[in-house]
Amino acid sequence: MQLNPWALTGIVLVAVVTPYLGHRSSRSATSTHDFLVARRTVRSRRNAAAISGEYLSAASFLGIAGIVLKDGADALWFPIGFTAGYLALMLFVAAPLRRSGAYTLPDFVEMRLGSKGLRRFSTAFVVFIGILYMAPQLQGAGLTLATVLPVPAWAGAIAVMIVVAFNVIAGGMRAITVIQAFQYWLKLFAISVPAFVLCMVFFAGGGPDGFRPLGAAAPPVFTSDTTVDVQTDVTLQVKTDTFLYAYGRTDNGPAAGPTHWTPLAPHTVSEGTKLKFLAGTPVPVVSDSVADNANWLHPGSGSLTDLLQTYSLMFATFLGTMGLPHVLVRFYTNPDGKAARRTTVHVLLLLGLFYLFPTLLGALSRMYVPELLVTGKTDAAILQLPSAMLPGVGGQILGAVTAAGAFAAFLSSTSGLLVSVAGVVSTDLLPGRVRDFRVATVLVALLPIALAVGLRPEDISLSIGLTFALAASTFSPLLLLGIWWRKLSWPGALAGMFVGGGLVLIALVVNVVSGYTGGWAPWFVNQPALITVPAAFVTTYLVSRVTGYGRPEHVHDIMLRLHAPDPLGFMRDRAVARFGQAEEKTRLPGRGRHRK
């Protein structure tokens, strides 16, 4: 890829301003309490921007446009599910969880069920989810950096992790809140401005080659002579007889000149091959994406498998959001349950606003950067679209803006995850002093780097889907039943997490193996939530029924605390027990429990 100096400038700016903001606002952060929950004084609107900033990860910024480019209207599920997850969170979990006074998911587990063993078990899953969620962020960062700079993909992953870890160590959560809020607005700017400009270009006559219709039954067409360098082995399909020039290896044989592909069978292309298409040639697409535009435009393909897969995805996003550690930890920074509710409303609005744009850009990509369908690198759509539609400096600057926004996305979601996972590790596995938090940060940062560099970069949104499935199969039964059903027992919760989480982890391993050996795995391995979530719920329910001894003694008090209205003052901070002095010190005047 060619060097884009504008994009480099944008990325460097984001990478410098972020730690600067963190540093400026972190001078006052001294105690563990400050680090973890930002003293619970963060205002709800800023908190909402911060939650959204943290939530809008690589999957949202790059992945959605990429999937829209590839799968068309089917991809609407992702943004719909991502917002619907917040609805579930608000209705069922936000306020009671805030009232529980727990900091982290394991804290909640111990508070509700009083079992230390279960607490450690859930800590393990928080760490799993966090690391699984961080790996695709880092891969996205690698992709972005490799698009604008002649560096290998792993360099971006490591660069992002270093910036983030430095920042987390320097400032903790308080700093992160300011940064996340800033990054939400940055991301919104970075995606809306290019979307507006490119839409204007589109309606004004449609970029370098004129207007291109999208509703036609034909596949997208190359509008100028195009050479594609295939960088990883791909299998392509064509809809009509296609003539092209290939240099390298195709269909398991050497190729060096004109060739002819039929729609009868898929065609394999090996790494390092150059494919040259003349203007007017229909675009071959990677074999798992939608080949023609008419099909691309309406959701669903009519097969039962698709229906089940979509339901499975919806299950995962609807219930998984509440189990994401970096989302939950944010709600503890609300002063009370009512503020938690208000925050969620703002979050939903901010998210809905944001998701309009990647969807729009994905649709434009289908028309202007169809060559990404050949290489399968659809996640780069947003990055390459501006220069494809607007050749020259204008396109380069817009490209720089999107690259900087994408970088902000990796930085913010990675730092949110790192803070929450390191927080859990330092309080649960280490003694919980500030220094331990720093040690934990470094330790936790190393694992996702290994995963991101070691594993095949799959479509960013899809691997995020699996992470949501893991969260939905482990923590959502625990949270929902824990808050709404008093007969939940700790053996039941343990069994449910074991079954749900175990099944998803098995699916994950099978998925990786299948990815390396020809992709034979059936749909439920890719998107297991439809099976694993009910399995986890049923297991939790049945085991709780037969293990009445595992219910905590004061279950009535606990339930009252979860559901009692905030002004009652039943909300006691666990922090009083753990970080007593810090809590006293940070209680602001005029914020007593009976003052509202």
Partner 1 sequence: MTDWESVQESPEFTELRRRLRVFVFPMTALFLLWYLLYVLLADYAHGFMSTKLFGNITVGLVFGLLQFVSTFVITGLYVRYANRRLDPVADEIRARVEAEPGR
Binding site for partner 1 (CB under 8 A): 73, 76-77, 79-80, 83-84, 87-88, 90-92, 214-215, 297-303, 306-307, 310-311, 314, 318, 338, 341-342, 344-345, 348-349, 352, 355, 556-557, 559-560, 563-568, 570, 594
Closer to partner 1 by CB, 85 or 172: give it: 85
Angle at 62 between CA 58 and CA 68, to 5 degrees: 130
Q: Are 158 and 448 in contact (CB under 8 A)?
A: no
Query: In angstroms, rounded to a whole number, what is the distance separating the alpha carbons of residues 244 and 228?
Result: 11
Shortest Å distance, C-beta 81 to partner 1? 9
Residues shown for the chain: 596
Closer to partner 1 by CB, 98 or 342: give it: 342
Query: In angstroms, rounded to a whole number, what is the distance separating the alpha carbons of residues 65 and 75?
Result: 9
Closer to partner 1 by CB, 125 or 318: give it: 318
Shortest Å distance, C-beta 107 to partner 1? 21
Query: In angstroms, rounded to a whole number, what is the distance separating the alpha carbons of residues 116 and 319?
Result: 25
Shortest Å distance, C-beta 360 to partner 1? 12
Query: Which secondary-structure segment (H or E) carries 285?
Result: strand 285-286
- CA 334 from centre of chain: 23
Query: Tokens 């998911």 identify what position?
Result: 105
Query: In angstroms, rounded to a whole number, what is the distance separating the alpha carbons of residues 139 and 330?
Result: 25
Shortest Å distance, C-beta 80 to partner 1? 5
User: What is the phi/psi pair of residue 257, to 5°?
Assistant: 150, -160
What 3-state DSSP class applies to 300?
coil
**Amino acid occupying residue 190:** A
Closer to partner 1 by CB, 75 or 494: give it: 75
Tokens of 324: 């994401």
Closer to partner 1 by CB, 315 or 332: give it: 315
Tokens of 415: 């730092």
**Amino acid occupying residue 380:** A
**Amino acid occupying residue 82:** F
Q: Are 481 and 113 in contact (CB under 8 A)?
A: no
Shortest Å distance, C-beta 217 to partner 1? 12
Closer to partner 1 by CB, 302 or 589: give it: 302
Shortest Å distance, C-beta 294 to partner 1? 8
Shortest Å distance, C-beta 344 to partner 1? 7
Closer to partner 1 by CB, 182 or 355: give it: 355
Shortest Å distance, C-beta 91 to partner 1? 5
Closer to partner 1 by CB, 77 or 103: give it: 77
Shortest Å distance, C-beta 557 to partner 1? 6
Query: Tokens 């439809």 identify what position?
Result: 530
Strand partners, 235: 268
Closer to partner 1 by CB, 14 or 469: give it: 469
**Amino acid occupying residue 477:** P
Closer to partner 1 by CB, 297 or 451: give it: 297
Shortest Å distance, C-beta 355 to partner 1? 8
Query: Which secondary-structure segment (H or E) carries 474?
Result: helix 460-484
Closer to partner 1 by CB, 298 or 456: give it: 298
* Distance spanning both ends of the chain, measured CA to CA: 58
Closer to partner 1 by CB, 121 or 355: give it: 355
Tokens of 545: 């029924």
Query: In angstroms, rounded to a whole number, what is the distance separating the alpha carbons of residues 174 and 227?
Result: 49
Shortest Å distance, C-beta 63 to partner 1? 18
* SS3 per residue for 148-173: HCCCCHHHHHHHHHHHHHHHHHHHHH
User: In whole angstroms, how far apart are CA 272 and each of 228, 231, 249, 255, 505?
Assistant: 10, 6, 8, 12, 34
Shortest Å distance, C-beta 475 to partner 1? 18
